[in-house]
Chain A
Amino acid sequence: MILEHTTASLVEWSRWQFAMTAIYHYMFVPLTLGLSFLLAIMETMWIRTGKESWLHATKFWMKLFAINFAIGIATGLILEFQFGSNWSNYSWFVGDIFGAPLAIEGLFAFFLEATFFAIMLFGWNKVSRGFHLTSTWMVFLGSNISALWILVANAWMQNPVGMEFNPLTARNEMDDFWAVLFSPTAMNKFFHTVTSAYTLSACFVIGVSAWFILKKRHIEFARKSILLASVFGFLSIIATIFTGDTSAQDVTRTQPMKLAAMEGLNQGGTGAPFTLIGFPAQDSRLPSDRMRTIRYGITIPQMLSFLGYHDFNAFIPGVENILNGYTSFEGKTYPSVEQRMANGRKAIEALKTYKTAVEEKNETAAQESLATLKENYADFGYGYLQSKYDIIPPVSLVFYSFRIMVAAGLLFVLLFMLSWWYAKKRKFHQFRFLPYLAILCIPLAYIASQCGWIVAEVGRQPWVVQNLMPTNVAITRIASGWVITTFWMFAILFTLLLIAEIGIMFAQIRKGVKEESIENEKNTQTF
């Protein structure tokens, strides 16, 4: 029996390990995605205007980009290793659906990125200006296309589409590549992630430039960088807000429990309010200790309905509605979780009897089992749940993470507007509060990004594949001590990498722009 072996300890440690490595991996990714875009814009400005200051800016930020890219490279592979070692049931179950996008990512996007990365870094004065500029744009494209495939795979786990389950192989098989690629969940996830990465990169450029201004060094370089990054950042954060809105609508339709957890909404209804801030607390009056009551909540009436469906009177289900069954605003009826658990058990039993019937060459029994399996497959994962309350994710963590992300995003809007205005007026250094705010926004942007992922990934618990496979079924039956050992190995490795990155980056920032330019003038064969 799976649960006899998959102890809570093993499940929890496997989850912690994946979460920790994913968080560390994503410390490196967003700067690569966004700074490559800014580099391409800066180099284009140099080619178009011929101003050396743009060239120096390109080279300085390219150096920081290279450090981040190189230190972060291949950190995502540890996640893939874990799929094979800790999550083997999951890896087999998702089959080529998860494998295909990752393979395309590896073969195409990374190849593109790696090839042009070398030309971008080492190709100054060795290839034509036009080809070098093309290479820089290709690095941007490669890194972003690479992100697309990863996010398509992730989106499929949140909203599995374009596949059919093969009961003989126990695998899901892709039957519509385009449905997987262009599912609304995938598109929302991709654009929301990359635009938030651009926002983070803009915060990074403004923050580092603000430090130069505080130190009264490279004032004109810093001002120029701030001007470009604030416009870039403002457009990015607007796009992030827009894609956040479309993502919320998608979550409302495909993962209503995640939305209910984000809001701490127990009892839904029409014209549901949005909670600006509040404190999720345990309440003995609630039927499960997984549920929370929002205390001291400040709400905006009807706003959640508007965010979910762009209709102030739309019905939004709360935790209890989902548990007991409800009819969505689109008119689709969802049975109670207990009913779905019964459906899931039927599907699992049908899977078992189907295989036996096939082996015994009993075609009639096989067809009956297959029909039962197909009929109930949408609720397959519910069959593994022990209690209906198992489908409630950790409400407090999701609730707070969502609000930290949104609050930080709104602060960035202010930062970009103030930065642009004061840099344009050449008064950035006079408004003492602003450089400090800009520096503070660097770690804040990283925290906001991580919070976004916590909302997405913790909010979908207990599912690894939404409605089809819960976390405790996805794991490999290995000793939890082994997972604990590798957890600490990864923790040490990643911490060292992060310290190395921060140390080298700080040293290069302290070195400044001028030295970089001189260094390049002395030795044009290097960066």
Chain B
Amino acid sequence: MLRRLWEIYYDGFRHLPQWGKIVLAIVLAKLFILFIVLKLFFMPNYLNSQYTTSQEKSNHVFHELTTKP
């Protein structure tokens, strides 16, 4: 079943029409920009990047929630 699915994918991508190739190129470029450029360099998870344990993250948000005037 998985082999069959793989063959469908493989043949499908091998015989992509011109417009399909353009779309595929756009998708790959987009995924690269999203996951490599944006996620790694511009949109890191703030709590994960600043704190390591759940307790630290919890303490930070607790502080944020309770220090507003």
Contacts and interface: CB of A to CB of B under 8 A. Distances in A.
Interface string A484-527: 01100100010001001000100110000000000100010111
Contacts of B62: 170, 351, 355
Given A71-B26, A85-B44, A92-B47, A118 B61 contact: no
A168 B59 CA distance: 9
Contacts, number: 133
B19 A70 contact: no
B65 A351 contact: yes
A115 B5 contact: yes
A181 interface: no
Given A67-B19, A91-B47, A3 B54 contact: no
What range describes how many residues of A lie at the interface? 35 or more
Given A67-B23, A489-B38, A500-B26, A122 B64 contact: no
A83 to B, nearest CB: 9
Contacts of B54: 169
Interface in B31-51: 31, 33-34, 38-39, 42-48
A525 B15 contact: yes
B29 to A, nearest CB: 9
A36 to B, nearest CB: 17
A250 B39 CA distance: 37
A118 B43 CA distance: 31
Contacts of A91: 47
B45 A519 contact: no
A192 interface: no
A73 interface: yes
Contacts of B30: 71, 74, 493, 497
Given A1-B68, A473-B68, A81 B46 contact: no
A70 B34 contact: no
B64 A2 contact: yes
A525 B16 CA distance: 9
A210 to B, nearest CB: 23
Q: Per DSSP, are chain A's interface residues mostly helix, strand or loop, or mixed?
A: helix
Contacts of B16: 526
B44 to A, nearest CB: 6
A70 B33 contact: no
Interface centre among A123, A170, A482 (most CB of B within 10 A): A170
A93 B23 contact: no
A81 to B, nearest CB: 4
B12 A122 contact: yes
A272 interface: no
A127 interface: yes
A493 B33 contact: yes
A66 interface: yes
Given A73-B27, A122-B12, A526-B17, A81 B43 contact: yes
B8 A170 contact: no
Contacts of B9: 118, 122
A321 interface: no
Nearest to B62: A170
B27 A123 contact: no
B8 A123 contact: yes
Q: Which 3 A-B pairs have the closest CB atoms?
A: A122-B12, A84-B45, A88-B46
21 contacts: A2-B64, A70-B24, A71-B30, A73-B27, A81-B34, A81-B38, A81-B39, A84-B43, A85-B42, A88-B45, A88-B47, A93-B65, A119-B8, A122-B8, A170-B65, A171-B58, A384-B68, A482-B42, A486-B43, A526-B12, A526-B15
Given A2-B67, A67-B19, A85-B44, 18 more contacts: A63-B19, A66-B23, A74-B31, A77-B34, A84-B45, A85-B43, A88-B61, A92-B58, A126-B7, A171-B58, A351-B62, A384-B68, A473-B68, A485-B42, A508-B19, A523-B15, A527-B17, A527-B20
